[in-house]
Amino acid sequence: MLTAVFKAYVFKVETCRYDYLPKSLPVVPIERQAPASQEDYKEVCKIDYNDAKRDVAEGLAMMIITAPIAFLLFRKIKEYLRENH
């Protein structure tokens, strides 16, 4: 959970991808089309806040589920140690 917050909001880590930018070409059969060159692709980088929000939500959900279980186990172990001491 902290990792997602640090990546998105503190360190501003960007996620990059290459988008294909087709040129407007005349209509030709597929067999005659030239393959895409490196110039047809553009690197797009941006901070993915939605991914960070998703990771934070997953972390909070896990914490909400495990916190009561950990608390109950802690109390049971504490009682067990008092009885056997």
Q: What are phi and psi of 15, to 5 degrees?
A: -105, 130
Predicted pLDDT at 50: 85
Predicted pLDDT at 77: 95
Pick the closest to residue 1 from 60, 51, 64, 49 (CA basis).
60
Least confident range of 2-11, 24-33, 75-84: 24-33
The pLDDT-based confidence of 73 (bands split at 50, 70, 90) is very high
Q: Tens of pLDDT along 13-72?
A: 788 887 776 666 556 566 665 555 556 678 888 888 888 888 888 888 899 999 999 999
pLDDT of 74 > 80? The answer is yes
Pick the closest to residue 1 from 47, 58, 51, 50 (CA basis).
58
